[in-house]
Chain A
Amino acid sequence: MTTVDVPITSRKDWMSDQEVRWCPGCGDYSILSAVQLMMPDLGVRRENTVFVSGIGCAARFPYYMNTYGMHGIHGRAAAIATGLAVARPDLDVWVISGDGDALSIGGNHLIHALRRNINLTILMFNNQIYGLTKGQYSPTSEVGKVTKSTPFGSVDTPFNPISLALGAEATFVARTHDMDRNHMIETFKRAHDHKGASFVEVYQNCNVFNDGAFAAVTAKENRSDNLIPLQHGEPIRFGANNDKGVAPDAQGHFQVVNVADVGEDALVVHDESRDSAAHAFALSRLARGPHEPTPVGVFRAVERDHYGALVGDQILDAQAKRGSGDLAALLRSGASWTVE
């Protein structure tokens, strides 16, 4: 969507006049700030940018962006945005959602937006809790989570959002976290530039109802041990001295290894462009939760025609073959007759 005559903007141009009303200390602030900082670099116009959300804490996001925006209803952001993006392929449409909004009440719309490859940039703020309704467990909460609605601990298995998106045929899947502004900006930019549906899981701290849920991975002091940065074309390595890595075991499953034990040549070289989603899926299964070594970055980025473009092509094709519609002729397209 980059054009030469896009006016130069600053972060301030992308901030609306509305007072931001998240709880003090909420991770949403840093995500908002990353997005507002990034927007001037995207080469897009404010009037062509739309943020669409559902319900939840994250869903207030559009009110704070000085663009077009819609705060929809619970779970339906992806569906609303789908209609907008298909009707108006000229727009940049962003979806802001949370783990409850996107994976519970709106799970159906998310997977279908991904499989259709609607030209959307979907940012899912995952805080593993329901914040707006004051602290019930969510579809990403860990088993045994004690909340107001699960006083004896939750018994359901959580979704792995990256695995889910890959299973839903997503063409761009990434993970970032609210403690690293530069990584967020870099990841959001990639997601925005991708044609088709991009899905970004953002680890987001809810300091009121689920404080520290991701600290084992995202806190500065833990990153070297538990954050695995994915770099396209590079062997997957991490650790304070780059001494750990990811390698396949005898069955081909990915596992964390000491580089010294297996040798550098045994390490998995990350390839986000593989046609098969198996590589990205294996990486998504590396961690069972944000308490052990967890990959962040772009898991998968492949090209596939997006739905809106295909629909537009069918319209152009039909008009080329049959001419643009003639209403009088349409009414006479069945068996018709004339009474004198």
Chain B
Amino acid sequence: MTDTASKDVTELDHVVIRFAGDSGDGMQLTGDRFTSASALFGNDLSTLPDFPAEIRAPAGTLAGVSAFQVNISDHDILTPGDFPTVLVAMNPAALRANLVDVPRGGTVIVNSDSFEERNLNKAGYATNPLVDGTLDGFDVYEVPMTSLTVEATKELGVKPRDAERSKNCFALGIVSWMYTRPLEATTAWIETKFAKSPLVMQSNLAAFRAGYNFGETAELFASSYEIKPTMFDPGDYTNVSGNTALAWGLIAASQLARLPLFLGSYPITPASDILHELSKHKNFGVRTMQAEDEIAGISAAIGAAFGGHLAITTTSGPGVDLKAEAMGLAVSLELPLIIVDIQRGGPSTGLPTKTEQSDLMLAMYGRHGESPMPIVAAKTPSHCFDAAIEAARLALKYRTPVLLLSDGYIANGSEPWRLPDVADLPDIAVDFATEPNHTSDKGEAEFWPYLRDTETLARPWAVPGTPGLEHRIGGLEKEDGTGNVNYDGVNHERMTRLRAAKVAGIVKDIPGVEVDDDGARDLLVVGWGSTYGSIGAAVRRVRARGMKASHAHVMHLFPFPSDLGEVLRRYKRVLVPEMNMGQLSRLLRAEFLVDAQSLTKIQGAPFKASEIEAAMLALLDNPSPEVS
């Protein structure tokens, strides 16, 4: 079926395709399958799912439009693409909501069956865009996908209403033909996924094949396109989303620490997939508890940490708000704990399904009292794996809660990931205390739960079940060393400074800031978290113009890497793009007294590379200030 000799095959270096339809149309699935087939074919890729907060908004309305954008390429890429050059629109609302992003000359494939009056009205079209000139200048393909799907599945005895539900597979078939995707992977997937409902499976297979054959035989498409595989480094690869990589990173950390994993979590978008993924892997000794609320999730994790488990709680911003008091308790108890925040648009319920990086200040300061907490941020979907292991390493070694930040963009987005060799992963195991660590005035052996390691300032971790080390800890201030309740002001200041020094001392244990430096000193773009791809792509574009710019990306946000100030001061200009109102730029200004220029975007969507590129060019065009 891959014989396309009857039509031309044009080679492309990349294509950005957006699948858009009603939230009931299965667009996320369609995009995901196209992505998987492309990953297996060997393309580099990056995805951007974008769906409404409602599970089923009224059908056919703008509010109900769900979209999935994927950039597939024959070379290494960093983003899902600024603009789709191909839009698949399953109904008028999907066209209306997404056409604005497609440049003139782009390809628009529509399900023409759905462009009838009722749907046009729901989408707010006074006239039919297929005939009124709206699509002038676009390369438009009108395909009656619904009726062709019904026709293709008729022989199976599927009712027309049920048959219509396979139209997304028809669309997937057309696009698979257009971009010469091998059929086997998708066929096998449909067979497995719907194995329990043979009729649905056959219906989807028939629709998929019909779509593919339609592309091949209809006189509509002049050419298909080929995007050659990317030249990847040798190794084993998989296509992974950030949330899956994060869950796997936590399991890896549990193995590397030789501690059982305990997750206390309450469902919340966009973090729930981590709970789902971890729940599958009980054979790794993973205990997941869907708690009664966010506070119970972290409280149970604290209990498990006291019991000697690798304890984790996963949530998004509103959940972090609720967990704040328990996070402070973990600071005071000095127990290892990982708090995962998959950031989303706020404040309050905000934009549950849309991305934002607006919890940095919350992570840094969102607790009462002096309660410093290390912060680690993941930068790409696959990097969530490494970031999870790093968060666990710091938590265990320093007996501290650690905040691990990701966001909706990389949590749901995916990319090909060269799998690490398990043997190369770091050993993060720590020892429990087993013996008394102090001798009393009477010469008796005692256990002091707050007698610290002189190097890391970490306190001993003595777990229940260890004879002779029975001790009590709590949220009241403790006497330095003994850990007994103590209200003395001088002791409180000493303990406050010790807790701060312990976390600050992590700076000696983390690498310098990652800088992609091209030698010039004109401009440094500084980012954290998921802006990595957009900034990297923008820097490439600026360099392609023959100009110079460097990119620093901060993974450890507290404490900052020791060389960050020095790196910032090397450049005449510093630009900080963030999906918030300028939180990192404010921290950099406060900490290092550098003139960090903020570039902000709070639209629930990642930066386009072109947006950062424009800001960079504006800075580079201005006469540079002298560096003092």
Contacts and interface: CB of A to CB of B under 8 A. Distances in A.
Interface string B229-248: 00011111111100010001
A315 B472 contact: no
B234 A314 contact: no
Nearest to B252: A327
A65 B470 CA distance: 9
Interface string A308-340: 000100110111011111011011101111111
A325 B255 contact: yes
A115 to B, nearest CB: 9
A81 interface: yes
Contacts of A49: 464
A82 interface: yes
A132 to B, nearest CB: 12
Given A72-B299, A76-B299, A311-B287, A63 B238 contact: no
A313 to B, nearest CB: 10
Interface stretch (A40-48, A149-157, A295-303): A40-48
Interface in A53-103: 55, 62-63, 65-73, 76, 79-88, 90-91
Residues of A in contact with B, size category: 35 or more
A1 B238 CA distance: 47
B245 to A, nearest CB: 9
B470 A66 contact: yes
A325 B471 contact: no
Given A338-B235, A340-B234, A70 B283 contact: no
A72 B295 CA distance: 12
Contacts of B306: 50, 68, 70, 80, 84
Given A338-B236, A339-B237, A83 B289 contact: yes
A328 B283 contact: no
Contacts of B238: 331-332, 334-337
B405 interface: no
Contacts of A88: 304, 307-309, 463-465
Given A80-B300, A88-B307, A315 B292 contact: no
Nearest to B234: A339
B255 A47 contact: no
A334 to B, nearest CB: 5
B469 interface: yes
A108 interface: yes
Interface string B120-131: 000000000000
B592 interface: no
B596 interface: no
Interface centre among A18, A90, A325, by most chain B C-beta atoms within 10 angstroms, is A325
B469 A47 contact: yes
Interface stretch (B34-42, B49-57, B136-144): B34-42
Contacts of A108: 292-293, 296
Given A325-B281, A339-B233, A68 B472 contact: yes
Contact of B307 (A69, A72, A91, A328): A91
Contact of B299 (A63, A79, A318): A79
Given A46-B470, A108-B292, A336-B236, 12 more contacts: A68-B472, A69-B471, A70-B474, A71-B472, A76-B299, A79-B300, A80-B300, A88-B307, A324-B285, A328-B419, A336-B419, A339-B237
13 contacts: A18-B485, A55-B475, A63-B474, A70-B472, A79-B300, A86-B289, A88-B304, A109-B295, A112-B291, A112-B296, A319-B282, A330-B251, A335-B40
Interface of B: 36, 39-40, 42, 185, 232-240, 244, 248, 251-252, 255, 260, 262, 264, 281-287, 289, 291-293, 295-296, 299-309, 311, 325-326, 328-329, 333, 419-420, 422, 463-476, 484-485
Interface of A: 16, 18, 45-52, 55, 62-63, 65-73, 76, 79-88, 90-91, 108-109, 112, 311, 314-315, 317-319, 321-325, 327-328, 330-332, 334-340
